[in-house]
Structure 1
Amino acid sequence: MSFRSRTAAKNYIRDNILRAYELRTRIPAGAHDQLLREVLRLHSDAEEKIGPGIDYFYVEETWRLPGKEAVSRDQRAIIVVRTDGTERDWSYWHVIDQPGEAANVKSALAFALEDGRLRRRDADFAAGMPPVYCALTGELIRQKHQADTRHLSPTWGELTEGFASAHGGWSAIETHSGDGYIFVGRDVEDETLRNEWLDYYAVHANPVYVKNESPERS
C-alpha cells in the first residue's frame, strides 16, 4: 500500500484496523494482517517485538496493558501474538513517524515500481483481456480502481530483504526524498542500482490483485 502522507497512513490504520476490529479478536489473514506485518518489521525494535515470529494480531484497550492503567479509556493498541504464544504491544506511530533505514529503502523500492505497476494494471484491465479475479477470495474484480497489487509469495518483505542482502544491506542503498522537489516518500539515489532492482523484481516477484472495498464507478 502507498499513502500520500504519514498522516494518511496513520489514519488508515486507525480507521480501518484499530477502530474497526472487535477487541481481543484475531485480525484475519488478508490485507490488514499483511500491512501490520510489514509495518512491524520496520520497527526500530522489530527483533525484540517479533521474537520467534508473528502468529497474528489483535486490538486491545490500552489501559488494560501493564503500566498503562492511567491512559484514557478510549485509547486502543495493536498487540502482536508471537509463535511461542507470548505477546507484545507496539506503536505503528513510532514506525511511521521515525522510519529507519529499512523503511526508507522499502519506500524507495516501492516508488521505483509505481509507473510499471500502473501500466501493468491498465493492461490487465484493458478491453478484451481475460477477467481479473481476487487472489484471496476468487471474486471477480470488475474495475481497475478496485484492484490493489499484493505480493503473497514471495512477500514484499522477502523481495526487498533479498535484494538488500544481495547489495550490502539496507545501509548500502542510498535514498533521497526529492532532491529539493516536493516529494512524499523516498527514491533510490543511484540510477544503476534502481534499474538493478527493477530487473530483480521482474525475475523474482509474483504480483497478484486483491479486491479492495471501492465501489464500482459508472
Structure 2
Amino acid sequence: MPEFRIGTRRYPTKQAAGDAVRAVLYGYNVGNTVDRPEEHLLLLDLLDLHPEAAEKIGPGVEKFVIAPPLRGSYPGFAVVRTDGTSIDFSYLACLKPPAYRQQVSSAMRAEVEEDVNAFFASRVAAGTLVSDESGAELDFGDVHVSYFRGPSFAEIAVGFAASAGGWDAIGLTSSTDQGLGTFTDRDLAAQWRSHHAEHAALGLLSSQENLRRPRR
C-alpha cells in the first residue's frame, strides 16, 4: 500500500496515519483539550487536508477539543477558533483523497523541505538556537521552524500558484491518493524554491510557543 503524509509526517499506509489520529482521539476524555504539543500540531496539519479547511479554520485555530458524538457512539474533534467560536470536523474527511490543489500544496512542501531543514541546521551551526519570539534558549529536541514572522506557507503557495497560471497549471508526477507527487517541470520546481526563499521569513519557536500561534 502507498505511503501517506500528514504535513511532514510520513506513514507507511493510510491505515497507519488513521491509527495515529485515532490514538489522539481516544487518548483524551470527551470535553478535554488536546494539550500535548505534538498532537496539537498533528491535528493542525490534519485539518489542512480537510476539503473545507478554510471554513473550519476561520480566523485561526486556538485549540482542539474532544467533542461528544454527533450520532452513534464515537467521539470526534472540534476546533475552537481564536474568536471563541467552535466547529466540529471529521478526521475521516481529512484522510480522503485530496483535491488537486491539496496535492500540489503537499508537493510544494516536499520541494522546500530540504531548504527548511537547512535553515534549522544553519542556526544550530551558528550557535543561535534561541526563540525568535521570546529570545529564550531552545532545547535541540524542542524546536519548531515556523513562518510566524511573515506570510504563512499557504499564502506563499497561493502567490506562486497564481504566478504559474493556477494550481492546475502545475503538473505533478504520478501521485498516490494522498498527493505525494513531485513537480514534473523541474525548472518550475526551481522557480518555486526561489519564490519560497524570497518570501519565507522563517524563525524558530519552542513547541509551546508554536502551540499558541493561531493557525492561518
TM-score above 0.5: yes
1:151 and 2:147 matched: yes
Higher relative contact order (CA 8 A, sep 6+): 2
Secondary structure of the equivalent of 2:76? strand
Choose from 171, 181, 198 the match for 1:203. Answer: 198
Matched letter for residue 208 of structure 1? G
Query: What do the CA deviations read for 1:68-114 (whole angstroms, capped 9, x no partner)?
Result: 1x22xxx3311134577654321233223322222211111111112
Tell me if structure 2 keeps the 8 A contact 1:24–1:58.
Answer: no
Q: How does 1:1-218 map to 2 (within 5 A)?
A: 1-5=7-11, 6-7=14-15, 9-15=17-23, 17-19=24-26, 23-25=30-32, 36-46=43-53, 49-50=56-57, 53-54=59-60, 56-63=62-69, 65=70, 68=71, 70-71=72-73, 75-81=74-80, 87-126=86-125, 129-135=126-132, 138-143=135-140, 146-152=142-148, 153-177=150-174, 185-212=180-207
Matched letter for residue 188 of structure 1? F
The answer to which of 18-27 and 188-197 deviates more is 18-27
Structure 1 runs not aligned, ≥5 long = 214-218
TM-superposed CA distance for 1:56, in Å, is 3.4
**Residues 18, 199 of structure 1: alpha-carbon distance in 2 compared, 3 angstrom cutoff:** same
Structure 2 runs not aligned, ≥5 long = 1-6, 209-216
Secondary structure of the equivalent of 2:180? coil
Tell me if structure 2 keeps the 8 A contact 1:105–1:173.
Answer: yes
Matched letter for residue 205 of structure 1? A
Distance 1:157 1:31 in 2: 20
CA RMSD of aligned residues (A): 3.4
Tell me if structure 2 keeps the 8 A contact 1:38–1:157.
Answer: no
Secondary structure of the equivalent of 1:131? coil
Matched letter for residue 44 of structure 1? P
**Residues 161, 174 of structure 1: alpha-carbon distance in 2 compared, 3 angstrom cutoff:** same
**Residues 120, 23 of structure 1: alpha-carbon distance in 2 compared, 3 angstrom cutoff:** same
**Residues 160, 33 of structure 1: alpha-carbon distance in 2 compared, 3 angstrom cutoff:** farther
Percent of pairs identical after alignment? Answer: 26
Scaled by the length of structure 2, what TM-score is found?
0.70
For these two proteins, the number of residue pairs brought into alignment is 196
**Residues 173, 58 of structure 1: alpha-carbon distance in 2 compared, 3 angstrom cutoff:** same
Tell me if structure 2 keeps the 8 A contact 1:39–1:92.
Answer: yes
TM-superposed CA distance for 1:120, in Å, is 2.8
**Residues 139, 171 of structure 1: alpha-carbon distance in 2 compared, 3 angstrom cutoff:** same
Scaled by the length of structure 1, what TM-score is found?
0.70
Tell me if structure 2 keeps the 8 A contact 1:151–1:206.
Answer: yes
Query: What do the CA deviations read for 1:129-164 (whole angstroms, capped 9, x no partner)?
Result: 233123466542343x54332222322222222222
Larger radius of gyration: 1
Tell me if structure 2 keeps the 8 A contact 1:148–1:212.
Answer: yes
